[in-house]
Amino acid sequence: MKTINVGLLGFGTIGTGVAKLLLTNSALIADKVGTPVVLKKIADLDVTTDRGIELSPGLLTTNAMELLDDPEIAVVVELIGGYEPAKSFVLRAIENGKHVVTANKALLALHGEEIYAAAARKGVEVLFEAAVGGGIPVISAIKGNMAANNFGSVFGILNGTCNYILTCMTQEGADFATVLHRAQQLGYAEADPTFDVEGIDTAHKLALLVSLCFGTRVNFADIYTEGISSISAVDIKFARDFGYKIKLLAIGKRDGDLVEARVHPTMIPVSYPLADVDGVFNAIRLTGDFVGPVMLSGRGAGMEPTASAVLGDIIDISRNLMAGINRRCAPLSFLDGSVATLKIKPMGEIESKYYLRFSAVDRPSVLAKISGVLGAHNISIESMVQTARMIGGSVPIVIMTHEAREMDVQKALQEIDTFDIITDQSRYIRIEDNLE
Amino acid sequence: MKTINVGLLGFGTIGTGVAKLLLTNSALIADKVGTPVVLKKIADLDVTTDRGIELSPGLLTTNAMELLDDPEIAVVVELIGGYEPAKSFVLRAIENGKHVVTANKALLALHGEEIYAAAARKGVEVLFEAAVGGGIPVISAIKGNMAANNFGSVFGILNGTCNYILTCMTQEGADFATVLHRAQQLGYAEADPTFDVEGIDTAHKLALLVSLCFGTRVNFADIYTEGISSISAVDIKFARDFGYKIKLLAIGKRDGDLVEARVHPTMIPVSYPLADVDGVFNAIRLTGDFVGPVMLSGRGAGMEPTASAVLGDIIDISRNLMAGINRRCAPLSFLDGSVATLKIKPMGEIESKYYLRFSAVDRPSVLAKISGVLGAHNISIESMVQTARMIGGSVPIVIMTHEAREMDVQKALQEIDTFDIITDQSRYIRIEDNLE
């Protein structure tokens, strides 16, 4: 019986997890595939660090070509991350007729189309379950058993760093900077946390989910992306008073010939299952026209859960190879000719409920002026709170709106912020209380 | 391009949903499969009832053989339920080289081995995502992307009727009989609810999950099965006081060369995500050695979610056929030769924490006698409540134990129930507060 040989590009945290899983559960994997799945070569620039795994001599190389050009390697796993040399390596693997498994959401969000087209030409699979939600099998669920559904929406908590920070802020009443600093010390946040806390990583993942759910190309630059760095403890406190939690939510919605695709801090009711997804856990909630709402949650990152997702993809390809076929399913599950190009709805056009917080001087006319401007922009007020509490010499006024158009809200806030009764920039957080 | 023809056995609720989905989303399905998937024949004894679907003339027949022996039909969907004639039909379909999709958990839980063996001989697929958790794609996740994991445990809320009843009892403080009656009127419970409320349906589903997670045959008769009909409003009230909710839980655990497989009302902490799964929703929580804990939830029954799962399986088979292969994966994902025969741990041997409720006369010696018997059986008390509240002339004494052996608890309760200070049969509910 033939062996299935795997080559690993990148021997960092996830790569180490993949190697560990392939070695630890090799018998189990062989029992499910029908033949051994063998780690034949690992390429990494660092060949000296001890990863705590015993490797056969010669397995580790600094030269990726040794692996990409090895005719005995059937599956290349790309875990380098970033755009280059990852992209060139992936394209070369495909050119050489190899199947590709990757966890690289940034690469696919920006260059997926080129990579999928190359894979279609060569008749190989490109799988990327590990790119979204760590070990949560959401991509295979969308492409696989839920494939008969037209999806209406997808909501995701997709970045463990942000969710950890927001969870701590919520539980402790602490400020963003304080919690970020601790997360960095604990290794939950990078030294430069921009990619995570500004929502870019979440947006990359959303781009993939939107493509898969709605069968469309996504122009990544059109995804509105707002991070959590401007969320303050006072907003979290008010959110709780109104029965909400603040989460960095990836939101995808089908809207006729348009899609919504946006990432921003979002208030969701505490009674929603997504509100209970705390710490480094991730979750995805999808709604299909037949299946209804389905939620999947689990560890969204980390060596071992991500390795589980990578191995799942390797097993998928291995089963094809054992059945004597190469390609069985297109990367987005829609046949390549059936992928649409739906436009992303401009952010100004979206409709949402809003939480608005104004900092104002403590004077009787303030409320009338604010509500006058809101009314003039077709923004109607659902509820309002003005506390006696002073923050830096100002009183906070919090308004929850009914559904309003983003553009109207932005214009109203700009106008209000010019008033001399307003002492600080007004804040807003979008609310999702209808996840259907 | 060839068409993939599907035959439907059974045109009840789920069958109608499948027909509706195949007709409604036919373009979407063709876009993902690469060819039309066509409903060629439906067999049902009732050919007169209007299901609200327009069918071509001649599509509906009372003769299953027309479908089972039609060489143009590639996939047979069995939605008759029960053991016969479902089993004979499934075996005949397999014998004729057809792939089988079924939602019949009872059939597979009792006769799965025979059916899987027949499918292996003929090289066809037997898929059954719709048998567990309605539209929740849990079976394909276990067989697919999470396949590289050794699973340690699986917990499930798998019966919508029971969960609906327990949810109403919890929210309203109502009694079992009252809520069951209403559930029957609303169509959420059958006229004869035994199958659901006594846990048999849940046990069938657990048998499948245990087979899939642990790669083992399961002797269905060895699954301990206890329903919810003896749960009273007072137990639900006490559970809440201690921070728990009562759910009918399917529990599967790997324990060395044994497995635990049991279905019974279970107290779980209100802080657990499973505790939030209310009403007719289902959820499954699995723990793999690499992926860690993963939870999937959604609508566990109903025409449309179940049809989504059936269609997912049909699409899976269709992709194989389009790639030119027949069988790609064994029904349990373990190769047929690799399925083990792990014994189910005898119920008396399991260890659990327990909620115990005694009805006793209001006399000072009572507590000493009860705790004496518990101590003599190695059952240690974690906490205890005795309320002044009288129930039918007795006082309830509630004891939460540390981990104890089932057999010891049963013996202790038998002994205590012989005392004349005890006025009613003592109650117990097992507690799970460590879902790892």
Measure CB to CB from residue B294 to each of A135, A273, A304 and give the nearest one: A135
**Residue A317: pLDDT band by 50, 70, 90 thresholds?**
very high
Q: Which residue of B145, B216, B287, B320 to mutate against A (max A Cβ within 10 Å)?
A: B145
Q: Which residues of B touch A298 (CB under 8 A)?
A: 291-295
Q: Are residues B239 and B331 in the same domain?
A: no
- Rounded-to-integer distance, Cα B287 and Cα A45, Å: 34
Shared-domain flag, residues B271 and B322: no
Provide the token pair at A210.
Answer: 């939107």
- Tell me, yes or no, whether B210 and B326 share the same domain: no
Greatest Cα-to-Cα distance within chain B, rounded to the nearest angstrom: 84
**H-run or E-run covering B428:** strand B422-431
The candidate with the shortest Cα–Cα distance to B91, out of B130, B60, B120, B71, is B120
Shortest Cα–Cα distance, A131 to chain B (Å): 13
Domain assignment present for A436: no
CB contact under 8 A, B316 and A144: yes
Give this complex's ipTM.
0.96
Check pLDDT > 70 for residue A125.
Answer: yes
* Max Cα distance, chain A (Å): 84
Q: Which of A29, A140, A291 sits opposite B305 (nearest CB)?
A: A291
Chain A residues with beta carbon closer than 8 angstroms to that of B276: 273, 276
Structural domains in chain B (count): 3
Model confidence over A386-432: pLDDT tens digits? 876 677 778 999 999 999 999 999 999 999 999 999 999 999 999 99
Size of interface A-B (CB pairs under 8 A): 201
> CA of B226 to nearest chain A CA: how many angstroms apart?
28
User: Do A102 and A49 sit in the same domain of this protein?
Assistant: yes
Q: Using a CB-CB distance cutoff of 8 angstroms, which residues of chain A are in contact with residue B324?
A: 325
On whether both B252 and B147 belong to a single domain, the answer is: yes
In a domain, B153, yes or no: yes
Q: For residue A435, list chain B residues with Cβ-Cβ distance below 8 A.
A: none
Give the SS3 label for residue A409: helix
Amino acid at residue number A314:
I
Return the CA Rg of chain B: 24
pLDDT at B41: 97
Test B290 with A327 for CB contact under 8 angstroms: no
Quote the pLDDT of residue A365: 86
The torsion angles phi and psi of A108, rounded to 5 degrees, stand at -70, -35
- Cα–Cα distance for residue pair B118/B313, rounded to 1 Å: 19
Q: Which domain does B405 fall in, by range?
A: 348-431
Shortest alpha-carbon distance between residue B176 and chain A (Å): 26
Please tell me which of the candidates B276, B312, B335 has its beta carbon nearest to residue A145: B312
Question: Is residue B343, in this structure, part of any structural domain at all?
Answer: no
Between CA B80 and CA B91, with CA B86 as vertex, the angle to 5 degrees is 140
DSSP assignment of A294-330 equals EEEEEE-SSHHHHHHHHHHHHHHHHHHHHTT-S--S-
Nearest by CB to B308, from A149, A319, A325: name it. Answer: A149
Q: Is-contact A339 A216, C-beta < 8 A?
A: yes
The enclosing domain of B285 has a CATH number of 3.30.360.10
* β partners of residue B225: B263
To the nearest whole Å, the CA of B282 is away from the closest chain A CA by 10
Q: Are B295 and B236 members of one domain?
A: yes
CA B36 from chain centre, in angstroms, equals 33
Q: Do B136 and A294 touch (CB under 8 A)?
A: yes
Residue B342 domain-assigned? no
B322 within domain boundaries: yes
Which residue matches tokens 């406190």?
A237
Q: Choose among B272, B264, B231, B436: nearest CA to B350.
A: B264
Report the pLDDT value the prediction gives residue B187, as an integer from 0 to 100.
Answer: 84
In a shared domain, residues A116 and A31: yes
Q: pLDDT class for B336, splitting at 50, 70, 90?
A: confident
Evaluate whether B384 touches B360 at the Cβ level (below 8 Å): no
Q: How far is A145 from chain B (nearest CA, A)?
A: 4
The rounded Cα B233 to chain-centroid distance in angstroms is: 24
Question: DSSP 3-state assignment of B317?
Answer: helix
| Interchain CB distance below 8 Å, A309 and B327 | no
Residue A96 domain flag: yes
Rounded Cα distance between B146 and B159, Å, is 24
Residue range B149-155: average pLDDT? 98
Amino acid identity of residue A356, one-letter, is L
- Pair B250, B374 in one domain: no
pLDDT, one tens digit per residue, over B232-267 is: 999 999 999 999 999 999 999 999 999 999 999 999
Q: How many residues does chain A have?
A: 436
Q: Flag if B141 and A146 touch (Cβ within 8 Å).
A: no
Q: Match 């001599």 to its residue by tokens.
A: A57
CATH of residue A407's domain is 3.30.70.260
Number of neighbouring beta carbons within 10 Å of residue A423: 15
pLDDT confidence bin for A436, thresholds 50/70/90: low
Rounded Cα distance, A8 and A73, in Å = 10
Residues B385 and B256 in one domain: no
Are B319 and A311 inside 8 Å of each other by CB? no
pLDDT confidence tier of residue B337, bands split at 50, 70 and 90: confident
| A104 and A40 assigned to the same domain | yes
Question: Which of B317, B337, B357 finishes a domain?
Answer: B337
The CATH number of residue A77's host domain is: 3.40.50.720
Residue B436 clears pLDDT 90, i.e. is over it? no
Residues 6+ apart with CB under 8 A from B25: A148, A149, A150, A289, A290, B311
Residues of B identified as active-site: 205
Cα separation of the two ends of chain B: 49
Residue B86 CA to chain centroid, in angstroms? 20
CA of A290: which chain B residue's CA is closest? B304
Question: CB-CB: which of B148, B305, B316 is closest to A29?
Answer: B148
Cβ neighbours of residue B416 under 8 Å, at least 6 residues apart? Answer: B358, B369, B370, B373, B422, B426
Measured between alpha carbons, how far is residue B64 from residues B72, B92, B99, B159 in Å? 15, 10, 16, 30
Structure-model confidence comparison of residues B179 and B364, the more confident one: B179
Q: What is the pLDDT of residue B1?
A: 52
CA distance B37 to A253: 27
Query: In whole angstroms, what is the distance from residue A46 CA to residue A62 CA?
Result: 7
- Cβ distance of B32 and A334 shorter than 8 Å: yes
- Closest-CA residue of B relative to A136 is B294
User: How many whole angstroms separate alpha carbon B249 and alpha carbon B154?
Assistant: 10
B260 lies in the same domain as B211 = yes
Are B323 and A319 inside 8 Å of each other by CB? no
Beta pairing class for B381-386 and B395-401:
antiparallel
Please check whether residue A121 lies inside any domain of the structure.
Answer: yes
Mean of pLDDT over chain A: 95
Could you confirm whether A205 is annotated as catalytic?
yes
Kindly report the nearest CA distance between residue A181 and chain B, in angstroms: 27
Chain segment A287-305, per-residue pLDDT in tens: 999 999 999 999 998 999 9
- Euclidean distance between CA atoms A154 and B156, whole angstroms: 24
The 3-state secondary structure of B27-76, one letter per residue? HHHHHHHCCCEEEEEEECCCCCCCCCCCCCCCCEECCCHHHHCCCCEEEE
pLDDT at residue A253 is higher than 70: yes
Residue B436 is assigned to a structural domain of this protein: no
User: Does B275 lie in the same domain as B151?
Assistant: yes
